Amino acid sequence: MDTQATRSDAIYYSLRRAIIEQALLPGMKLPEDAIGDQFGVSRTSVRNALVRLNAEGLVDIRPNRGAAVAEPTLEEALDIFSLRRCLEREVVGRLCRSITESELAELEAHVAEEEKAMDTSGPLSMRLAGEFHILLAELTGSKPLVRYVSEIVSRCSLILALYSRPHSGKCGVDEHLQLIDALRKGDPETAMHVMEHHLGAVQDRAQIRDPGEAPDIRSILSEYARTA
């Protein structure tokens, strides 16, 4: 996982992480040259990565006008959250009748990491919060489901970047623990209800916020180029 098979992959994962951690904010332009320079690769590899990010809705590509971090409208944001509910209900439903104690332990370990990261910087804890949901999806063993949940969760990060206020400290750790408890009991009704409540809470953080000015893309990506 340290070095990817291809350079395109490396760029893809780096950009993805940069977007999810909100280092690259919605609306920010993503010029192929600048990114290529920063990562030390040609435009070809960058384009490949951008195409993929576009396919999963994290990046908008307008012909001959370049790529930019997607800016979901408020309307799209509501759709996406609605879809997320739909998908995560499916996840919870499947897990209730299949989850094992060791998998529950895995989830608890993840939440422990979340708690540890709560003190430190926002980006990490934001990413971990999302990855909890992706981990849930992975435990279903359904690759397509993982793909969709990953995608949706990423886009929700984007939405929170656009519409949420600075964001509250806890970031849902308690709710994650509640969910684990519900899964352990194996009762779909309560589990789904907890999930529903949790997602509602996440969504409720959405609120208008002004975009602010655009800093230099190279300085932002210098952090991400190292770990590519």
Residues engaged in binding a second copy (CB under 8 A)? 5-6, 47-48, 51-52, 55-57, 63, 76, 79-80, 82-83, 86-87, 89-90, 142-145, 147-148, 155
Find the binding residues for DNA in span 33-72 (CB under 7 A): 33-34, 41-45, 47-48, 61, 63-67
* 22 secondary structure, DSSP code: T
CB 47, min distance to DNA, A: 6
* β-sheet bridge partners, residue 67: 30, 61
Contact (CB, 8 A) for 7 and 41: yes
Gap between the Cα atoms of 153 and 84, Å rounded: 8
Q: Which does 31 bind (CB under 5 to 8 A by kind): DNA, a second copy, none?
A: DNA
49 versus 202: smaller Cβ distance to DNA: 49
C-alpha of 144 from chain center: 16
How far is it between the farthest Cα atoms of the chain? 54
CB 90, min distance to a second copy, A: 5
Q: Which does 201 bind (CB under 5 to 8 A by kind): a second copy, DNA, none?
A: none
Binding mask 2-31 for DNA (x = CB under 7 A): ----xxx---------------------xx
CB 214, min distance to a second copy, A: 26
29 versus 193: smaller Cβ distance to DNA: 29
Which residue shows structure tokens 């990060």? 157
34 versus 124: smaller Cβ distance to DNA: 34
Sequence-separated contacts (24+) of 213-219 with Cβ below 8 Å: 214/28, 214/29, 217/24, 217/28, 217/29, 217/30, 217/31, 217/34, 217/35, 217/38, 218/34, 218/37, 218/38
